[in-house]
Amino acid sequence: MQVVDPVSGILKGKGGQVWSISPSATVYEALELMADKEVGALLVMEGDQIAGILSEREYARKIMLMGRSSKETHVIEIMAEAMIVSPNCSVDEAMRMMTRNRVRHLPVVDGGKVAGMISIGDLVKWVITSHEKTIEQLQSYIASGA
């Protein structure tokens, strides 16, 4: 069962708050911000432009496993390329994109401006809720004797 709802619906529910950091910041500063805001990823921004994305995954693979120092390494050295979607992108397409590219966060960009960020958890929650609503509607239809 496809979920063709646009990701803009997810942003309406969760809000468009996006936490970001400069490419010149240290990875340690980024980790402090992620911990403080209880998020798993930050957009890396140069002014109004997305330069990349930094997630816990980059930290684990490019700092921890490589024996580097998070206090001496700058975000620009380990950030990943940010894949973006528009607010009109369907939930299914966003999930396919995340799965195909093995990413867990997608910035939502509307007219060149960051509108928010969605995570794989946001998408899964939306799909489950959508399926539950469909099941309720079908049960109601069957119970009505139609």
Convert the pLDDT of each residue in 79-126 to its tens digit.
Answer: 999 999 999 999 999 999 999 999 999 999 999 999 999 999 999 998
- Tell me the backbone φ, ψ of residue 20, rounded to 5 degrees: -140, 165
C-beta separation of 117 from 108 below 8 A: yes
Q: Which is it for strands 105-110 and 49-55: parallel, antiparallel or unpaired? A: unpaired
C-alpha–C-alpha distance, residues 91 and 128, integer Å: 12
Q: Which is it for strands 113-119 and 49-55: parallel, antiparallel or unpaired? A: unpaired
Comparison of pLDDT for 130 and 3, the residue scoring more = 130
The total number of structural domains in the chain stands at 1
Name the pTM for this structure: 0.85
The answer to whether residue 27 sits within a structural domain is yes
**Per-residue pLDDT at 2:** 66
Residue 98, phi-psi category: left (phi > 0), alpha (psi -120 to 50), beta (remainder): alpha
The answer to whether residue 2 sits within a structural domain is no
The answer to whether residue 87 sits within a structural domain is yes
Residue 53: which CATH number?
A: 3.10.580.10
